[in-house]
Structure 1
Amino acid sequence: MTLRALLAACLVAAPITAQASDIRMAITVDDLPAHSALPNGETRVGIAKTFLAALKDAKAAPVYGFINGVQTEREPDSTDVLKIWRDAGHPLGNHGWAHLNLARIDVATFEAELTRNEPLLQGLAAGSDWRWFRFPFLSEGDTPEKRAAVRELLKARGYHIASVTMSFGDYAWNEPYARCVAGGDQKAIADLETRYLKAAELSLAHSRALSATLHGQDIPYVLLMHLGAFDARMAPRLLAFYQSLGVTFVSLEAAQAHPFYAADLAAAPAAAAPVTLENAMAARGLPAPPLSLDLAALDQVCR
C-alpha cells in the first residue's frame, strides 16, 4: 500500500475532524553548531544565517536547536552559530556533548555527556528553558534498565525529552550535496532538491495517517531536522511547502503540551517505550507500515 493509499484508508477508518489549516508542527533542529559536510565556499555561520532567515520569513515559532558542544572544539569557527541562533530569538537544548549513542555507552558516560554540555547552555541560553534533551540517534539505550535509569537522571535534573513524531531523514542529503557542489553537478543538485521535498511530503502523509488512526485527528507534530548546508538551502521551499498545506508552526512547548507527549514532557521513567506514533500503534496492536525512504541511494549521488 502506498502512503497516499494508507492515508486515504486511515481517513475512512478514523476521519480527521480538523481541517488542513489545523495542522500544527514544532520544528526542532539537531546538531548545532556544525552538522555534516561543509560544501566548498560555505561557512557554518552562513548556513545558520540562511536557515534562520527562512524561519523568520515563515514567521515560525521559536525553534529549539539541540547542541553538541564538542563541535565548538572540532570547528571553533562554528561557535558563533550558537550566539547567532540565540540572537535570532530561538532557544537551545541539550543533545549530548559528543552525540554518543546511548546503546553503546553506560549510564555514567551518558551523565557526563549531559552535564558537560550544561555550562555552554547556561552561558548562552539565559532567560530560556534549556533543559530539553534530544537523544542522539533517537536512541534510548539497549536495555529497559538503562532506559529507565537515564530517564530517572533526566527527570532528576529537570529535563523534558524532546520527542519526534515526524522525520524524513533530512541529514542524508547534506553529504551528497557537498559532493555535488565540489563537482559542479547542478543537474544532480536539482534532483536532490526534488527528492528532498518528496521525502518531506511522504513523511507528513505517514505521520498524519498514524495520527488519524490513533486519535481521529492531527496531533501537533514535532519535526526533526538538522543544521546542514542542504537543509539551509532547502529551508525556504520546505517551509513554504508545509504552509501551502495549512501547517502552522508552533513551539516545542506548545506541541508537547498535547497528552500524547506526556511521558516525554515529564521524562517519566515508567514510560513503556519511546514516545513515537509507531510505538503507540504497536501498543494498540495495530500495524504501522514503515515510512519507506530510499536514503541509501543518496550515498551514490555525485560519486
Structure 2
Amino acid sequence: MQSKLTQLVTGLRVVALSGLLFLFLASPLLPQKKEVCLTFDDFPYVQMGRYPVSLIKDKLTRLIKVLEKYDAKPAAFINEIQLYKDESTIDPRRVELVQMWIDAGFTMGNHGFRHVDLSFHTAEEFKEDVLNGEKIFAPMIKGKQKFYRFPQLEVGNTLEIKREVERFLEENNYKILPVTISAAEYKFAIAYSKAYYSKNEKYKKKIADDYIAYLSKFIDLVEKQTEFLFKRQIKHVMLLHMNELNIDHMERLILLFKKKKYKFISAEDAMTDEVFTIRNTYAGRDGLGFIDQIASMRRLMGDPLFDDKRVPVPDYVLELSDNDFYDFPYDNE
C-alpha cells in the first residue's frame, strides 16, 4: 500500500513538473496582455474660441457616448484659458463641458492654463501656468488624483530644469502622465478639418481611412519598440487631441485597438506599471514621448526601429497640414 502511494505521489510530481516545464517553454509564445489608456489634450476642444459652445457640447456628447459604450476609461487634459469668454470672464457653459466629462466618470487633468511649454518659457513661468490651470477643474474632481501632461511633451531643456519642475509638480500633488503612443495624429486632424469645413466628403473619407490605417501600423511599430526596450508589452498611454477627426471616428479607433486585443485602462491604472519608475534622465526640446525618451537615453535614436518615418504620413496629408489657416464658417459665438 505504501509503495503504491509513493508511486502515485511520484507520478503526480512528474506530471506537475512536466506541466510547469511546458508553461516555461511555451510562455514566450503565449500572447502578452495589452493595455492602453486613451488621453485627449487641449480640452474642451482645439481652438475652442473659434466655435459656438453649443456645437462643442454636441460633439462632446457624441464622444462621451462612444467612450462609455466601450468602457474606455479615458483622461482629458484641460487648458483652462479655453473656459473664459475673455481675459477675466469665465463662461459657465464651457465649465459645463468639464462637468459633463467628470460626470461620465472620466479623468480630468491639467495641461497648463495657457499651454506654456518649457522650451520657450522659464521654470517660473511654467509653474505659474500650472497653478493657474487648476483653479476650475481641481475643485470639481473632489480630491481625486491630479494628473499633468506637459504641453508639446516638453519636459525641460536641461536635466536641472526637468528635476525642478518634477519636484514642483510632486509638491502640488500631481502625477505626470507619460505618453507611449505619440503618432502624427495632429497632421491628419488639420487635413481633416480642412475637408470637414469645405464640405469635401470624398477627402473626409479618404483622410479618415488613411488615418486609421496609419494608426494600425504605428501601433504595431510601438509594440516592437516596446518589446525591444523592455522585453515585454507595457501599459500604454496614447496621445490624442479634442478635434473633429477623433470625435467623428472614435469608434473606429476603439475597434482598431480591440481588434489588436487591447484592454482599455484608466490613467491611474496605467501609472501602476513599474516601467514608469525607471530613472529617466532625458532632457531636451524635442518633445519626445516616453519610449523615444528611453531610446534616446540608450543612444538608440539612430536605430531604424526608432525612426517613426517607417510609418509615413501620406504626402497629401502633409501638404494639407502644412498650413492650418483656412476659411472658417463660425464667428466667435
Same fold (TM over 0.5): yes
Map of 1:105 onto structure 2:
121
What are the within-5 Å matches in structure 2 for residues 1-303 of structure 1?
19=31, 22-36=33-47, 43-60=55-72, 62-74=73-85, 76=91, 77-129=93-145, 131-262=146-277, 271-273=280-282, 276-286=290-300, 287=303, 288-292=305-309, 293-294=312-313, 296-299=318-321
Aligned length: 280
Q: What secondary structure sits across from 1:92 in the alignment?
A: strand
TM-score normalised by the chain length of structure 1: 0.84
Which structure is larger by alpha-carbon Rg, 1 or 2? 2
Q: Distance in 2 between matches of 1:18 and 1:222?
A: 23
* Larger mean Cα displacement after TM superposition, 162-171 or 172-181: 172-181
1:284 corresponds to which letter in structure 2? R
Q: Report how far residue 173 of structure 1 moved.
A: 3.0
Q: Distance in 2 between matches of 1:94 and 1:39?
A: 22
Q: Is the 8 A contact 2:192 2:208 kept in 1?
A: no
Q: Deviations over 1:2-40 (max 9, x none)?
A: xxxxxxxxxxxxx965516x2111111111112147689
Q: Report how far residue 250 of structure 1 moved.
A: 0.9
Q: Report how far residue 171 of structure 1 moved.
A: 2.6
Q: Distance in 1 between matches of 2:297 and 2:322?
A: 37
2:277 corresponds to which letter in structure 1? A
2:76 corresponds to which letter in structure 1? G
* Larger mean Cα displacement after TM superposition, 198-207 or 62-71: 198-207
**1:242–1:89 CA distance, 2 compared to 1 (3 A):** same
Q: Report how far residue 199 of structure 1 moved.
A: 2.1
Q: What secondary structure sits across from 2:133 in the alignment?
A: helix
> Which structure would you say has the larger RCO, counting Cα contacts within 8 Å and 6 or more residues apart?
1
Q: Report how far residue 202 of structure 1 moved.
A: 2.1
**1:242–1:39 CA distance, 2 compared to 1 (3 A):** farther
C-alpha RMSD over aligned residues: 2.6
Q: Report how far residue 244 of structure 1 moved.
A: 1.1
Q: Report how far residue 99 of structure 1 moved.
A: 0.7
Q: Distance in 2 between matches of 1:160 and 1:41?
A: 30
Q: Distance in 2 between matches of 1:281 and 1:89?
A: 35
Q: What secondary structure sits across from 1:99 in the alignment?
A: coil
Listed as ranges, the gaps of 5+ residues in structure 1 are 1-14, 264-269
Q: Report how far residue 118 of structure 1 moved.
A: 1.9
Point out 4+ residue stretches in structure 1 off by more than 6 angstroms.
37-42, 300-303
1:19 corresponds to which letter in structure 2? P
Q: Is the 8 A contact 2:80 2:134 kept in 1?
A: no
Q: Is the 8 A contact 1:39 1:178 kept in 2?
A: no
Listed as ranges, the gaps of 5+ residues in structure 2 are 1-26, 284-288, 327-333
Q: Report how far residue 179 of structure 1 moved.
A: 2.2
